[in-house]
């Protein structure tokens, strides 16, 4: 097996060695075999662009390894990160199933392996494999809920501090089963830069850095490297009026 950028390229889904909870990772053996014949595997370095916002959709990208940033540009030219996709996610899914343009720009933030499937092949595959179709429904439902929370947070927050607090609470909820200790303290691993956090809530890096300092001073959080500790989730919730 070829090794590149410290990761092993997985050529066959049926022999995949990466433990993943991806939407397309736990399909039936026969469905995975059908998928094998359609996919084209590629490896992309950091900074590569898989597709651009507004480009007609020509297929889906199944992210096997690495991370990809999905961002959109507001009318004012502000970049907003919709999502940082992790291994196991299918990129460009909503555009392909609704036969529209890609809704975001997908940029590789960590070297990744991607399996590309052409639009017509993918739609036929979904119609012929019920378990894959249900997995796609699950991913889109998940994306819909994430987008709903994000748009409500952006649209209804009275301040940037509110938006940042809501972003942290969203991360807490996404990891609710793993990192809570029952007394309100939540530990999270985050691998985002201040710039990326700023783009998630539609503000500047300087504002995020300043707010993180304020949150630390108010003993709401501790941030050391990639370890984020939310000391009292309830206080954070009260702050945003939940």
Partner 1 sequence: MRVLILQFQKCEHRLPDKFVRQSMLNKHQANSECFFGNAFLADDLFCGLSSETQTSLLAIKQTKRFAKDQLIFAVEQMPCCIYILTTGDAQIFYATELFGRSVKRNEILGLTEAITNLPYEISVKAVSPCIFECVGRDDFNRFLQSEPEVCFRLLQMLGANLQKVYQLFTNQ
Distance of closest approach, residue 3 Cβ to partner 1, in angstroms = 35
Distance of closest approach, residue 204 Cβ to partner 1, in angstroms = 15
How many C-beta atoms lie closer than 10 Å to residue 10's C-beta? Answer: 17
Q: Which is nearer to partner 1, 138 or 216 (CB)?
A: 138
Distance of closest approach, residue 138 Cβ to partner 1, in angstroms = 6
Distance of closest approach, residue 140 Cβ to partner 1, in angstroms = 4
Distance of closest approach, residue 11 Cβ to partner 1, in angstroms = 28
Q: Which is nearer to partner 1, 177 or 224 (CB)?
A: 177
Q: Are 220 and 236 in contact (CB under 8 A)?
A: yes
Q: Which is nearer to partner 1, 14 or 173 (CB)?
A: 173
Q: Are 67 and 196 in contact (CB under 8 A)?
A: no
Distance of closest approach, residue 154 Cβ to partner 1, in angstroms = 6
The rounded distance, in Å, linking the Cα atoms of 204 and 182 is: 34
Q: Which is nearer to partner 1, 96 or 164 (CB)?
A: 96
Three-state SS string across the chain, please?
A: CCEECCEECCCCHHHCCCCCCCCCCCCCHHHHHHHHCCCEEEEECCCCEEECCCCECCEEEEEEEEEEEEEEECCCCCEEEEEEECCCCEECHHHHHCCCECCCEEEEEEEEEEEEEEHHHHHHHHHHCHHHHHHHHHHHHHHHHHHHHHHHHHHHCCCHHHHHHHHHHHHHHHCCCCCECCCCCEEEECCCCHHHHHHHHCCCHHHHHHHHHHHHHCCCEEEECCEEEECCHHHHHHHCCC
Q: Which is nearer to partner 1, 65 or 166 (CB)?
A: 166
Residue 158 tokens read as 């009275």
Distance of closest approach, residue 222 Cβ to partner 1, in angstroms = 26
Q: Which is nearer to partner 1, 14 or 145 (CB)?
A: 145
The rounded distance, in Å, linking the Cα atoms of 159 and 179 is: 27
Q: Which is nearer to partner 1, 4 or 242 (CB)?
A: 242
Contact positions vs partner 1 (CB under 8 A)? 72-75, 78, 80, 82, 93-98, 100, 103-104, 126-127, 130-131, 133-134, 136-138, 140-145, 147-152, 154-156, 158, 173, 202, 241-242
């Amino acid at each position: 097996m070829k090794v590149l950028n410290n990761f092993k390229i997985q050529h066959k889904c049926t022999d995949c060695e990466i433990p993943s909870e991806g939407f397309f990772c736990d399909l039936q053996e026969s469905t995975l075999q059908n998928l094998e014949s359609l996919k084209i595997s590629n490896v992309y370095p950091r900074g590569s662009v898989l597709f651009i916002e507004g480009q007609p959709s020509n297929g889906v990208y199944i992210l096997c390894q690495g991370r990809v940033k999905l961002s959109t540009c507001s009318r004012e030219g502000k970049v907003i990160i919709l999502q940082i996709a992790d291994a196991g996610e299918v990129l460009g899914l909503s555009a392909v199933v609704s036969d529209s343009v890609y809704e975001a720009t997908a940029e590789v933030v960590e070297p990744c392996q991607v399996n590309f499937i052409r639009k017509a092949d993918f739609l036929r595959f979904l119609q012929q494999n019920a378990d894959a179709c249900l997995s796609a429904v699950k991913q889109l439902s998940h994306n819909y809920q994430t987008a709903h929370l994000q748009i409500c947070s952006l649209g209804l927050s009275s301040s940037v501090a509110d938006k940042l607090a809501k972003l942290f609470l969203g991360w807490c909820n996404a990891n609710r089963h793993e990192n809570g200790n029952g007394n309100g303290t939540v530990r999270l691993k985050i691998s985002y830069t201040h710039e990326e956090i700023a783009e998630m809530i539609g503000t500047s890096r300087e504002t995020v850095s300043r707010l993180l300092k304020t949150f630390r001073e108010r003993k709401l959080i501790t941030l050391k490297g990639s370890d984020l500790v939310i000391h009292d989730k309830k206080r954070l919730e009260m702050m945003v009026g939940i």
